[in-house]
Amino acid sequence: MSRPKLAVDIRGLMKRFGRSTAVDTVGLSIRPGSTLGLLGPNGAGKSTTLRMLMGMLRPTAGSINVLGRDLATEAAQIKQRVGYVPDANYAYRWMTVERVIRFCRPMYRHWNDDRCAELLDMFQLSANKKIGSLSKGMLAKLSLLLALSHEPDLLVLDEPLSGLDPIARDDFIEGVMRGICSGTQTILFSSHQLDEVSKLADDVAIMNHGRVLIHRPLDELLSSFKRVRAVLQDGRLPAVIPKGTIWQSVNRREWALTVQDVDDTLIDQLKSENSVDSIEVAELSLDELFRDFIRGDETPDDQRHEKAQCEAAEC
Amino acid sequence: MLMQLIRKDLRICRLPILVGVAMVIGAFVLMSTMDGLSGVWRGGSIETWSVMLKTAGSLSIITSIIALTMLAGTIFAAERADRSSEFLAYLPPSRAQVLLSKAIVLGASCVLALCVGGGSIALADWLSVDHSVNSSLQIRMRDVVPIAVVSIGVGWCASARFANTGPSVGLGFAAPIVLSAGVLLASYFFGIPNDESFRTTYAACSTATGLACLVGGSVYFIRRVEP
């Protein structure tokens, strides 16, 4: 089979639970060999999206294509080539580590015993220990071991680092890094740990309220959005919000905006349309950008300007 | 892969299986030590052996139905109760393969129970010289099989639906009682005489309900959205 153009191609994906919409017409595409970090606050729909990708939930609408195959018709073949690390490991508590490995091994055509032994050694997992007695960190490592031992083409990690101590987190990331380095695996992971996302991800997608707010290469995302800090003239309010503003806040005379594609023209326009004394432009970290996207999304466009004026009026 | 799934299902259903084995063995031990039948161990006649085997076989079939209902009520729900079904959901086996492994475990247990109980009764008949001698507990298979089918079927269907073994096992046990009450009420309203035709009606209703539940539970498991 020829290498597909996209490792993951999600189109118009929707999931409704009764009246509430958990995932709302999501579209995501991941290039083979790249790493996509899926970010979002709790309840953004990240886990639901990943669970649909793993065939654990049936979408209400939309299509999912994984490694060139349609998930709706070829789920079993897809699972052969996908490794999944859930946010919580629900493997059979009565099984030992060795038993769960023996249980999973015959299910995969490309199970690599050497790789499994190497990871077992690296994670210092005791083969005779029962799964029920493993700590959260050890369970996460076991999940990663099971996900990597069959040398998957796609590795899906659903908030694997949440609740792990820094040492377990480092071990886990090292395991993932080894997975990345030893092959041409595509990785899709959701996380709240933005520093880890910046280390691992090539591309970033931010989700909120079941929608994808932005999906870009990480470098491009960080370079295209800037924090603009303007000092308003005494007693004046922002008049015109520049195009491409995703979030803004007014605190006394300081007007802070997160704006896309900031250039000299935009700065001149900002100066001419608003009564500002000075303007400075600063780089944004992924953490700041993530917060701004979410806060901006919480405020509808028509209210954004109104809110800024009200905040300014209070001072 | 199927062997791994079967081994896993046997381990998950260890309790009802062990209860079933203990009850079947217990039935034979109990009958062989009862007054009048205990002579089998002291050079009893063939007829004594025959009566003991018939009684113990009949009792083992009744106890097997209890254990098989527990097994059917446990087989899906136990995995959903501890959420291990979520682990299985992202592994390569398809729902059909998972269902097949569970069906094999339940089917094999039914066959085994039938072989032990029915085999004992058949052996007793073969040993018996005087066929007029009967056990006081001798059961009629045509009465028992429909009860087994409806108990196991309802337990299986409920297990596919619920995330707790308690309600599914309970429904399995309640099904023949509720159904007999229903048939009794229906026969009262429709004037069906309380004789052989009532038994036939009850057997037909039980078998139909049990089979429908077995099929319905299987389809529901294959088609259900969440693991």
Q: CB neighbours (10 Å) of residue B138?
A: 13
C-alpha angle B195-B199-B201 in degrees, rounded to nearest 5: 110
Name the amino acid, one letter, at B25: I
For the full predicted model, state whether its pTM sits above 0.80: yes
pLDDT at residue number A301? 57
What pLDDT score does A171 carry?
A: 76
- In B, minimum Cα distance to A48 occurs at B226
pLDDT of the residue at B132: 61
Q: Which chain A residues are Cβ-neighbours of B96 within 8 angstroms?
A: none
pLDDT, tens digit, for every residue of A133-151?
A: 988 888 888 998 899 888 8
Cβ neighbourhood burial of A50 (10 Å; 0-12, 13-18, 19+): buried
Average pLDDT, chain A: 84
Minimum-distance CB partner of B8 among A89, A90, A103:
A103
Q: Which residues contact B193 (CB under 8 A, 6 or more apart)?
A: B187
- Residue A14's pLDDT band (cuts 50, 70, 90): very high
Total beta-carbon pairs less than 8 A apart between chain A and chain B = 54
Out of A56, A58, A92, name the one closest to residue B90 (CB): A56
A73 and chain B in contact, CB less than 8 A:
no
Pairing of the two strands A276-282 and A245-251: unpaired
Instruction: Pick B173 or A3 by higher pLDDT.
Output: B173
Tell me the mean pLDDT in the region B17-44: 77
Sheet holding A20-30, edge to edge: A20-30, A8-17, A61-66, A69-70
The single-letter code of the amino acid at A310 is: C
Phi-psi region of B187 (alpha: psi -120 to 50; beta: other; left: phi over 0): alpha
B2 touches chain A (CB under 8 A): no
pLDDT of residue A63: 92
**Option in B84, B90, B93 nearest A84 (CB):** B90
- Whether B4 has its CB under 8 Å from any CB of chain A: the answer is yes
| ipTM of this complex prediction, to 2 decimal places | 0.80
Q: How far is Cα A91 from Cα B83, in angstroms, rounded to an integer? A: 8
Number of domains comprising chain B: 1
Q: Which of B4, B82, B227 sits opposite A56 (nearest CB)?
A: B227
Which residues in chain A have Cβ-Cβ distances shorter than 8 Å to B227?
Answer: 56
Q: Choosing among B8, B90, B220, which should be mutated to test the A contact, i.e. which has the most A CBs within 10 A?
A: B90
- The residues, ordered by sequence, that sit 6+ positions from B113 with a Cβ below 8 Å of its Cβ are B20, B24, B60, B61, B64, B65, B67, B68
Is residue B37 very low, low, confident or very high in pLDDT (cuts 50, 70, 90)?
A: low
Whether residue A107 and residue B92 make contact (CB cut-off 8 A), yes or no, is yes
The whole-number pLDDT of residue A302 equals 54
- Give yes or no for residue B151 having a pLDDT over 80: yes
Helices H / strands E in chain A, number of each:
11, 14
Q: Which residue has the higher pLDDT, B225 or B104?
A: B104
Considering only residues 108 to 147 of chain A, which have any Cβ-Cβ distance to chain B shorter than 8 Å?
108
Contacts of A107 in chain B (CB under 8 A): 1, 4, 91-93
Render pLDDT for B108-141 as a digit per residue (tens, 0 to 9).
999 999 889 888 888 887 877 665 655 556 677 7
Residue A2 has a pLDDT of: 58
Q: Is A107 on the interface with B (CB under 8 A)?
A: yes
Alpha-carbon distance of A204 to A198, in angstroms, equals 9
**Cα A189 to Cα A192: distance, rounded to the nearest angstrom:** 10
Domain span at residue B55? 2-223
Task: Using CA coordinates, name the residue in chain A closest to B82.
Answer: A90
- B183-197 confidence digits (pLDDT tens): 888 878 877 676 777
Which residues of A fall within a CB distance of 8 Å from B221? none
The answer to whether A111 touches A48, Cβ cutoff 8 Å, is no
The residue assigned the tokens 């031990």 is B29
Contact A90 B84 (CB under 8 A): yes
Q: How many CB atoms lie within 10 A of CB A175?
A: 21
**A10 pLDDT tier (thresholds 50, 70, 90):** very high
Per-residue pLDDT band for A266 (boundaries 50, 70, 90) equals: confident
Q: Is residue B227 pLDDT above 90, yes or no?
A: no
SS3 (DSSP) at A260: strand
Residues 6+ apart with CB under 8 A from A6: A29, A30, A31, A32, A65
CA distance A100 to A129: 11
Q: What is the pLDDT of residues A170-217, one digit of tens each?
A: 777 777 777 666 567 889 989 877 877 887 888 999 999 899 999 999
Where is pLDDT greater, at A48 or A299? A48
Indicate which of A66, A89, A107, A150 best probes the interface with B, i.e. most B CBs within 10 Å of its own CB: A107
Whether B41 contacts chain A with CB within 8 A: no
Strand A154-158 to A8-17 pairing: unpaired
Q: CA A146 to CA A83: how far, in whole Å? A: 8
Separation CA B89–CA B226 (nearest Å): 9
Is A103 within 8 Å of chain B by CB? yes
CA–CA separation, B44 and B143 (whole Å)? 31
What tokens appear for A247 in the block?
């979030």
pLDDT score recorded for residue A297: 83
Q: What's the pLDDT at A315?
A: 40
Query: Which amino acid is present at A137?
Result: G
How far is the C-alpha of B44 from the C-alpha of A180, rounded, in Å? 76
Of A61-75, A124-138, A181-195, B138-152, least confident by mean pLDDT is A181-195
Lowest-confidence region among A30-34, A45-49, A307-311, B190-194: A307-311
pLDDT value of residue A272: 80
